[in-house]
Amino acid sequence: MTENAIVETKSKALITGASSGIGAAFARRLADDGFDLILIARREELLVKLCKELEDTKGINAEYMLINLEKENELAIVEERIKNTPNLEILINNAGFGGGNGAFYKIPIEDHINMVKVHTIAPIKLAHAVIPNMLKNGKGVIINVSSIGSFSPSPGVMYSTTKISLNYLSESLDLLLRKKGIKIQALCPGFTITDFHKKMGYESGHPVYRRKFMTAEKVVEISLKALKKGKVYCIPGFRNKLLAFFMRKLPKRILIFAYRMMFSKRKKRK
């Protein structure tokens, strides 16, 4: 513990990408369970509103940090805060964004690098910062929000690439820490009602949205139940479990053929 450590006894949880969607749903659920919260995101208006809601209705302390995880100096601020918060019991690496439209080589390389920073480097650094105190406390939880899209290659090259790295990070940390009281989870949701998928063009009137989308609250509920069972992978929903099974078991050549067909149809529509 450094000389700047914040000495508190009540357990805290830190959530990245906390301003909406799955991150905000985790915040509300953990507030119900009595955790004080540190919420990380870029949209200050939403963070202020969420913190006020949680403090007024749940009786917990909620603070926010306005952070862009693409920026190394801002990520370092979060790392330092984690190291100086010895009662931080839960870390949820939820921040993320989609790959945008267009072929890999047509998207600016900076966009790809930023995705690696947010999806891969930030979770690694934050986990590295929090684990020493979790080991001292003999308990802790790290949830890495991955995606069902992590189970196979896809035309969204960098998205699936970064998310599979998050899966392997989770598996590896579980091997290292399971017997030391620290629970690790790779949460792999499918279509979920969040700003993430709205930005991809799936509005509430879209037929896929109505049939297949799960609420963020339901995803969080399933995640926390799976955590109690000690499962590293959590895939919410029967359809998603079935899809993930086929994505992992089907020969890669069949999946690649299917993706090529989908991608060619998409280009024709354009």
Instruction: Take residue 32 and report the two structure tokens written for it.
Output: 């119900």
CATH code where residue 245 lies:
3.40.50.720
Domain interval for residue 120 = 12-269
148, part of any domain? yes
> Considering the entire predicted model, what is its pTM?
0.85
Q: How far apart are CA 141 and CA 27, in angstroms?
A: 14
How confident is residue 257, by pLDDT bands cut at 50, 70 and 90? low
Total of domains in the chain: 1
5 vs 147, residue with greater confidence = 147
| Residue whose pair of structure tokens reads 């024709």 in the numeric block | 268
- pLDDT of residue 96 exceeding 80, the answer is yes
Residue 7 maps to a domain: no
Closest CA to 236 of 25, 3, 15, 16: 25
- Residues 242, 185, 172, 17: is their CA dihedral positive or negative? positive
Is residue 6 one of the residues assigned to a domain?
no
User: What six digits make up the tokens of 192?
Assistant: 């979920």
Q: Say if 135 falls within a structural domain.
A: yes
Please check whether residue 2 lies inside any domain of the structure: no
pLDDT in tens, 209-226: 455 689 999 999 999 999
Q: What is residue 43's predicted lDDT score, i.e. its pLDDT? A: 97
Whether 18 maps to a domain, the answer reads yes
Asked whether residue 45 is domain-assigned, the answer is yes
β-pair type (182-187, 192-193): unpaired
Residues 6 or more apart whose Cβ sits within 8 Å of residue 53: none
pLDDT computed for residue 259 by the predictor: 59
Distance CA 244, CA 91 (A): 25
